Amino acid sequence: MGNASTAANKRQIKLGAFLMETGHHIAAWRHPDALASGGLDFSHYAELAAIAERAKFDAVFFADNVGINESNVNVLSRTARADHFEPLTLLSALAVVTKQIGLIATVSTSFNEPFNVARKFASLDHLSGGRSGWNMVTSSTELEAQNFNLEKHTAHATRYERAREFHQVVTGLWDSWDEDAFLRDKESGRYFASDKLHVLNHHGKHFQVRGPLNVARSPQGSPVVVQAGASEAGRQLAAETAEVIFVAHQTFEEAQAFYRDIKGRMTRFGRDPDHLKVMPGIFPVVGRTQEEAEEKFDTLQNLVHPEVGLALLSKMSGVDLSRFPVDGLVPELPETNGGKSRQQLLLDLARRDNLTIRQLYLRIAGARGHQQVVGTPKSIADQLQQWFEEDGADGFNIMSPWLPGGLTDFVESVVPELQRRGLFRSEYTSNTLRGNLGLPYPANRYEQRHVA
């Protein structure tokens, strides 16, 4: 009881369940307890969302890409990454079978239009009673670009320039209606107050969007904006626009440096640093003992096909590494038009630990560059607590190794340990994603002008 009452008065860890088909480990689908067909099985996702909601997670989160990012079909055929639901469609269905957990989906600014994105997330917010979040990303692969009338992807800097304007348009459209615009007064015959509708009339370099949005203002003011970029351009965009940021770190020192950098940048935009929650990805393998945890991890590692490991590393680094000796040290990599921060993270990891190509692909087979923790509930909770209390994170995006077992392990053993320490809630404090994350309700920009 003492912990619970103390917890009510202090900052607490935020938790997201980052769900990926059969699990995050590249060989998860081969695990004896994994559902190999999970990518297109709604009951599978409904069960996972229920597990996370019972544990009082802030949100479930789905990444996405708009294409199959493997040019080698033989390699692709050895993974479970070829078929999965479009995430917004899936979250709309999950909204019906959940009550309080947040629903966050990735939608790229590179191959979408702002009006459609604004409308879909506003609709999901109404369907869920205020639980939607948009993970705003810029797509990075040529294979995705080639599904949208392009031979080559646009340059990295241009993608971020477009993303910034995309965000301006989406958030502008979300302010199309005042809070109390809809009267629906049968007696007077007035459905809405005409002075409470606002036309955006955006004219920019990348977009011309008139508006207004044909969806009433969101139950939580506007859906929560999430971001995942860690390059210089990504950090600037996050400090300016994001309310949650998902990020990958290998060491506590990297996490601290990033956390302080992002929070420090926010003041330049007149933002309160507490209005952006930094949530690194964590890949936890939990055992009752250290030996049991390592055995669980080895079970997965032994299922990694060499071609799959090499292809994963090549994709993440942006460079085809198949022409180099697999048991030789990782070579210097040329800069690419793909993701900058992840390539640098991989290089730093390889240099720090003097890894061969094979050792590096095995190192990232589960967490893909995120922090990998293999241990007991206590040792994992110790690390999360340190990162949280010493300016490395506001919370964590839990990347279960395989599903549903990896998530169940974390929920049944690590979550109670965090609760005992007063670091995580035992009950939801709000019915909205914003409320549970401790984010402010956003004012409508037109109402602000009106007040001024």
pLDDT for the residue 312: 80
Residue 55 lies in a domain: yes
238-270 per-position pLDDT tens digit? 999 999 999 988 889 999 999 999 999 999 999
How many angstroms from the chain centroid is the CA of residue 58? Answer: 12
Residue 30 lies in a domain: yes
Burial zone of 21 (CB within 10 Å; 0-12 exposed, 13-18 middle, 19+ buried): buried
pLDDT for the residue 349: 82
Torsion of CA 118, 119, 121, 124, to 10 degrees: 170
Same domain, 39 and 94: yes
96-109 per-position pLDDT tens digit? 999 999 999 999 99
**279 touches 394 (CB < 8 A):** yes
Residue 127 lies in a domain: yes
Same domain, 88 and 123: yes
Domain count for the chain, please give it. 2
**384 touches 298 (CB < 8 A):** no
DSSP 48: H
pLDDT for the residue 6: 40
Listed residues 324, 344, 364: the one ending a domain: 364
Listed residues 338, 364, 390: the one ending a domain: 364
Structure tokens at 240: 């300016």
**387 touches 393 (CB < 8 A):** yes
Same domain, 237 and 376: yes
Same domain, 240 and 376: yes
pLDDT for the residue 68: 82
Strand (E) or helix (H) holding 183: strand 182-185
pLDDT for the residue 339: 60
Residue 19 lies in a domain: yes
Residue 310 lies in a domain: yes
**How high is the mean pLDDT in each 10-residue block of the chain (452 residues)?**
46 97 94 94 98 98 84 83 93 98 95 96 98 91 80 81 95 97 98 97 98 97 92 88 92 94 94 96 97 94 87 81 85 68 77 86 78 96 98 97 97 98 97 97 80 38
Any idea what the CATH number is for the domain that residue 53 is in?
A: 3.20.20.30
**Domain containing residue 102:** 2-155+215-287+371-443
* DSSP string covering 358-424: HHHHHHHTTTTTSEEEEE-HHHHHHHHHHHHHTTS-SEEEE--SSTTHHHHHIIIIIHHHHHHTT-S
Residue 189 lies in a domain: no
Same domain, 78 and 6: yes
